[in-house]
Structure 1
Amino acid sequence: MLSGYRMMWMMVLFDLPVLTRPERKAATKFRQFLLDQGFEMSQFSVYMRFCTGKEQVEALTRRIGQNVPSTGKVHILCFTDRQYETMVCFDGRIRAAQRRNPEQYVLF
């Protein structure tokens, strides 16, 4: 069984310009890239993904770096599964239910 201190979460936060058509296209392409890599949208410019360890985090970080648009800012935060469990979420003024970790990986 994997330890909650070994399992990691990645959070990608970005602020990309969308004033021109090429900028909008680049931002959309980046969002789609994140979805294709298994990230889920938490908020419009915040995407999260569960990882089994630091090696997977490092590999994803390299792939993200290769796909960052030429303008805008992208930040990546990584934290353990145990830290993720302490996250508090609100939907409006109502405290939202905590999201569960994936039970297992889906194989394609």
Structure 2
Amino acid sequence: MRILVMFDIPVKTKEQVKKANMFRKQLIKRGFFMVQFSVYMRIVRGITSAKTHVERLRGILPPSGNIRAIIVTEKQFDNMITLLGKDDEQMIKSKPTQLTLF
């Protein structure tokens, strides 16, 4: 299973930027990795573990912003479709992919 965390945190002031960066760093510290800017993901072993990790996110929430978490199965994640513009297709074809083993 996977947990996707999507967020929109205000970054208009230095203090807001600091809090947004702290939130991102905490996500990484807790095993999440960036999928896209403001979208992070973590792989977990099951629904119980996923719910535990989502509850732990409550402890690192910034004072303002919009944070959403969704739990998806591997089958649901595998059905994700990535849509790319022509420039992005060329960029991806030219870069080697990295294999991750778990």
Q: TM-score range by the shorter chain?
A: 0.7 to 0.9
Partner Cα separation in structure 2 for residue 88 and residue 75 of structure 1? 20
- For 1:51, the equivalent position in structure 2 comes to 44
Residue 85 (structure 1) aligns with: 78
Change (3 A) 1:102 1:9: farther
Where 2:28 maps in the other structure, the secondary structure is helix
5+ residue gaps in structure 1? 1-7
Please report how far the alpha carbon of residue 62 of structure 1 lies from its aligned counterpart in structure 2 after TM superposition: 1.2
Q: Which has the higher strand share?
A: 1
Q: Structure 1 counterpart of 2:11, which letter?
A: V
- Cα distance change, pair 88–10 in 1 and its aligned pair in 2 (3 A): same
1:10–1:78 contact (8 Å) kept in structure 2: yes
Stretches of 4+ aligned residues off by more than 6 angstroms: none
Please state whether the residue corresponding to 1:90 is helix, strand or coil: coil
Query: Partner of 1:71: helix, strand, or coil?
Result: coil
Cα distance in 1 for partners of 2:70, 2:30 equals 16
TM-score w.r.t. length of structure 2: 0.83
Contact 1:50 1:101 in 2 (8 A): no
Q: 1:13 to 1:43 in 2, by over 3 A?
A: same
For the aligned residue pairs, the C-alpha RMSD in angstroms reads: 2.3
Cα distance in 2 between the residues matched to 1:84 and 1:72 = 26
Matched, 1:17 2:5: no
Aligned pair count reads 96
Q: How many percent identity over aligned positions? A: 31
Q: Identify unmatched segments of 5+ residues in structure 2.
A: none
Write the distance in 1 (CA, Å) between the matches of 2:98 and 2:4: 16
Residue 67 of structure 2 aligns with which residue?
74
After TM superposition, the score normalised by the length of structure 1 is 0.78
AA aligned opposite 1:60: H
Q: Quote the offset at 1:101 in angstroms.
A: 8.9
